[in-house]
Amino acid sequence: MTTWEAEPEVETLAGQARAAADAVWSKRAARRVRSLVEQRSIEVVHAHNLFPSLSPIVLRAAHSAGAAVVVTLHNYRYLCLPGTLIRQGRPCDVCVGHVPWRGVVHRCYRDSLAGSATIATSLTLHRSLSSFDAVDRFAAVSGFIRETYERTGFAPGRVVVKPNFAPPVPVRDGPGEGFVYLGRLTPEKGVDTLLDAWRGAGDLAAHLGVLTIVGGGPQEDELRAMAPPGVRFLGDVPAEQVPGLIRAARAVMIPSRWEEAAVPRVALEAYASGVAVISSDRGALPEGVIDDETGMLVPADDAAGWREAAAAMSVGATGERLGRGALALWRERYGPEAGLEALEALYLEATTRS
């Protein structure tokens, strides 16, 4: 394995200027990539994140040196400056299919005018120069994100779906107790809907059990203040504690109100544990959460619907049945073996350049 430090020094004005230039057209990254391809006879260059240090010029460099080029579409980065299609906690697609000047006005990239202008310049320049034509295959992490890109005319016929995967972990024994949310505490994540569901539980409260909120973020203080009885906050926890928290729960909750680009990793980790998922029906979530097979789908902001789903999951053997379905889907689609098979097929497609 060969590594090099691509991130420039940005503490000084000179470093900031260099970082901005690299985000638009990084000559040193292009030289390094071309050199590696030629010296090592590399057949496939697989890029995951081009900004801010590499820039799309490395795609042109890899292609011109003779390598097949693959780019994973983890998010909406090439359509939206922050890559989320969210602004101020609400869905936003005003830049999709257009020059992203509105994203500059709203400082959408890291809340920085200069940073937003830099990424917008890079995207606009490389679209005009057809730099993305150097990519043989784009690997979308979901069918939803593939459709979103193709709807804008982005790389028609070159986007394939390559889902994420999760490693094996010990499988839950028994039905579990209570419910758990794991993730950032921001408005688009919809955690306030869960709190409203528990607040209105009434006689169902004993059946629902404790709702555990794991994670931190800008909305944490607000959510703690509005939390009803039966909800506990753990804040950020060490990564090694996460599998145990998932395994102890009856189900994992994903109440997102934004268009999730992929089936979240926490859902795949739950499936590997034999734990069902209750999720909203936004974005890519319905691709991985199969209603009444691996979990339940609920409209994002429907607190009563979330309460009813949690109650249904708590009755009889429903949670265990859906957990078995979740584990079966993990083995079929989201385990390491399936991930490796999909990656090998992706590289074969890229190298044949069909």
Which pLDDT value is given to residue 46? 96
Q: Where are the beta strands (DSSP E) in the chain?
A: 44-47, 68-73, 86-87, 90-91, 137-140, 159-161, 179-182, 211-214, 231-235, 251-254, 276-280, 295-298
pLDDT for 206: 78
Whole-angstrom distance, CA of residue 108 vs CA of residue 112: 7
With a cut of 70, say whether residue 4 has pLDDT above it. Answer: no
Q: What is the mean pLDDT of the chain?
A: 92
The pLDDT, as a whole number, for residue 12 is 62
The tens digit of pLDDT for each residue in 112-143 reads 998 899 999 999 999 999 999 999 999 999 99
* Nearest CA among 51, 29, 30 for reference residue 120: 51
pLDDT at 183: 97
pTM of the model: 0.90
Which residue, 15, 36, 123, is CA-closest to 78? 123
Higher pLDDT, 201 or 337: 337
pLDDT at 315: 83
- The model's pLDDT over 76-85, given as tens digits with 9 standing for 90+, comes to 999 999 999 9
Listed by start position, the domains of the chain span: 13-165+338-352, 179-334
Top-tier CATH class for 179-334: alpha beta
13-165+338-352 maps to which CATH number?
A: 3.40.50
Beta strand residue intervals within 79-230, DSSP E: 86-87, 90-91, 137-140, 159-161, 179-182, 211-214
Percent of the chain residues topping a pLDDT of 70? 94
* pLDDT grade for 242, boundaries at 50, 70 and 90: very high
13-165+338-352 against 179-334: fold identical: yes
Residue that wins the pLDDT comparison between 354 and 6: 6
pLDDT score for 312: 94
Q: Model confidence over 252-290: pLDDT tens digits?
A: 999 999 899 999 999 999 999 999 999 999 999 999 999
pLDDT of 20 strictly over 90: no
Q: Is the pLDDT of residue 21 over 90?
A: no
Each residue's pLDDT tens digit, 206-235 = 788 999 999 999 999 999 999 999 999 999
